[in-house]
Chain A
Amino acid sequence: MVDFKSYAFPDSRGKFGMYGGKYVPEILIPALDELEENYSALCRDESFLAELNNLQQEYNGRPTPLTFAKRLTEHFNGAKIFLKREDLCHTGAHKINNTLGQILLAKKMGKKRIIAETGAGQHGVATATVCAKYGLECIIYMGAVDVERQKLNVFKMKMLGAEVRSVNSGTATLKDATNEAIRDWVTNVGDTYYILGSVVGPHPYPMIVRDFQKIIGEETKEQIIKAEGKLPDKIIACVGGGSNSIGIFYPFLKNSEVQLIGVEAAGLGIETNKHCATLTKGRAGIFQGMKTYLLQDKEGQVNEVHSISAGLDYPGVGPEHSFLHDIKRVKYLSATDDEALSALFLLSKLEGIIPALETAHALAALEKIIIGSHPDQIIVVNCSGRGDKDMFKISEAGGLE
């Protein structure tokens, strides 16, 4: 039984129970050790924290609002719905919370060259943005399929001065972009800093990214207490790698009365092979430096997965989520492409907020979760990003006719 009052994961070996770890080629071990040492020192350094805090306010626009969704609440006629507005972050999603932290880390470590992977392009844009701000060379790996479906973000990255390398290997999506970024790091490990965008990969990344994202949950806690005088009953967030969800969940882990719900992408349906519902349908494996749940075939080969949302189109999931799933602290559901699309339109029309396709999965699950709830209950949905980047994709899916 895990005592959440003294929750101290990952442990000294980078494990969340049996998950996590450092399953990487030997060449990267010194780089991971160097990163861990620097991070451990900096995360206790008052001047570093003050600098980051200032950036979060003055550059990123934090704290983001917690918006009461009045018409959506009336529509469902159940619990009060609040939206944590990460879509209002600079660059349009929560991703920049992490890249601001990591660019400061990279600078302190004296690295000159920054690499990153991206799926939906939000992490790529957030990385290119901080590289522009600090004048560092930036190379973004992006699957060829994603380059096509997230064109707008590719333009943005280029405009910000980043080089976007289209990845054709494997399935040409997020997992392959991540493989390529790791291969680049293996080759250029001396002068290069890898800004990983989610709570995935080898230790210490899942911990570092979580720590830079937990600001979402910390603000939510303060804001909901101020607005309603109590903690929410439920918090819902979408899960691809799982950074926005861990960000909002983490500060609430010890509040056992708050139910935490992660929503994975069910693609064309979890009964088909075309989905990314890793925790729902996968099993433990070793992938991209971590032990975690993985969608794989009976030979242990990683499955080709599918989601309409590029940011969720990933066969793995952060190791901390695997752990929280096993110990049942977080409940993981899934929503299909179609359910996400219709939730996207609902929020747009009722609240004047166009969410990202990723976020739309959390909103889709809300429709089921809210059934049977009462007006004195509170549900917070993490509105992780905005939908500008998805216009072409939504139109292609027939949503704008």
Chain B
Amino acid sequence: MINLKKYISELNTKSELALSIFLTAGYPDKKDFIKIAELVYENGADLMEIGFPFSDPLADGTVIQRSSLEALRSGFILNDLFRYGEQLKLKYNKPLIAMGYANSIVNYGNADFFRDALNAGFDALIVPDIPYDEYEDFYADNIPNLPVINLVTPTSTDKRIKEIDTVTDSFIYYVSVKGTTGFRRNVNQQTLDEMKRVRSMISKNKMLTGFGISSIEDISTVSPYCDGIIIGSAVIKKIMENQDEYESLSYYIRELKCATTKRHQQNID
């Protein structure tokens, strides 16, 4: 298992922001998914989040709703997620994170899920509908100790951020906009002030920023205030629009990695 905190620290030491790319498991279909995941790693993604689709994804905007539904229609089952993990880990020694809604896990059996995800090579888990209030109950059976990444938002209080920081041991997923995934709102001074506040409350974890980040400009603006960025909907959109054997997707990932490398250096200078 990769130590995520250490892994991100090493990138930061090289003046790079960590680039985490979200993909919907089984989208657009089982075969192409692996091909896309490999392209994403090959073109520079440092971490990968594989979202296991749910019929009612509350925190997601239209793009991920659509990819989730299509993945389910093409026959995705939870066992496919573990198989993807195993396959990718054989080729790439890079962080792999499972992300999905609580009901899929409850239905599979919490203890079984934590064990099987770990055995399949996943380094961490994100469940967007398990807030800190439900943390203890939900992870009571996490005996194999699969690291859990918790979300923090601009509305989280200082006290709460500190509590979440205490129970987390990898990175905090900072949701930079009030909205669902893919929600576009220009990164403004308020966004940055909120990021500064949140980051100052985090002492033992790295902080990666996601939701509403998609352009090189966004990355450049937020880079001084976090340790990495997460891109989801914008990537899924490229997959939806694919007409060139994922050439423009690969190009996009390279561009993003380039931005997380250069921009961070510039800002530090």
Contact = CB atoms under 8 A, between A and B. Distances in A.
B183 A13 contact: no
A36 to B, nearest CB: 11
B18 interface: no
A24 interface: yes
A182 interface: yes
Interface in B125-174: 128-134, 137, 150-157, 160
A254 to B, nearest CB: 28
A186 B211 CA distance: 12
Nearest to B160: A29
B151 A24 contact: no
Contact of B157 (A30, A186, A187, A289): A30
Interface in B93-150: 101-104, 106-108, 128-134, 137, 150
Contacts of B101: 286
Contacts of B78: 299-300
A285 B133 CA distance: 17
Interface residues of B, number: 41
Nearest to A294: B103
A29 B55 contact: no
Contact of B102 (A13, A23, A175, A186): A23
Contact of B151 (A25, A179, A284, A299): A25
A301 B72 contact: yes
- B72, B104, B133, B154 — most chain A CB neighbours (10 Å): B133
B178 interface: yes
B180 A285 contact: no
Contact of B58 (A21, A31, A179, A296): A179
Given A21-B134, A187-B183, A300-B103, A30 B129 contact: no
A188 B102 contact: no
A300 B129 contact: no
B2 interface: no
Interface in A23-45: 23-27, 29-31
Contacts of A302: 55-56, 103
Contacts of B153: 25-27
A183 interface: yes
A175 to B, nearest CB: 7
B129 A286 contact: yes
B65 interface: yes
Given A287-B56, A301-B72, A26 B107 contact: no
Contact of A189 (B59, B134, B178): B178
B58 A24 contact: yes
B131 A25 contact: yes
A61 B125 CA distance: 52
A27 B107 contact: no
A294 B103 CA distance: 10
Contacts of B133: 13, 21-22, 29
Interface of A: 13, 21-27, 29-31, 169-170, 175, 179, 182-183, 186-190, 284-289, 294, 296, 298-302
Closest 6 CB pairs of A and B: A300-B107, A27-B153, A286-B102, A187-B179, A301-B55, A25-B59
16 contacts: A22-B134, A23-B129, A23-B131, A25-B59, A25-B131, A25-B153, A26-B132, A26-B152, A26-B155, A26-B156, A27-B153, A27-B154, A30-B157, A169-B65, A186-B58, A187-B180
Given A300-B108, A302-B55, 5 more contacts: A22-B133, A26-B131, A30-B155, A170-B56, A183-B180
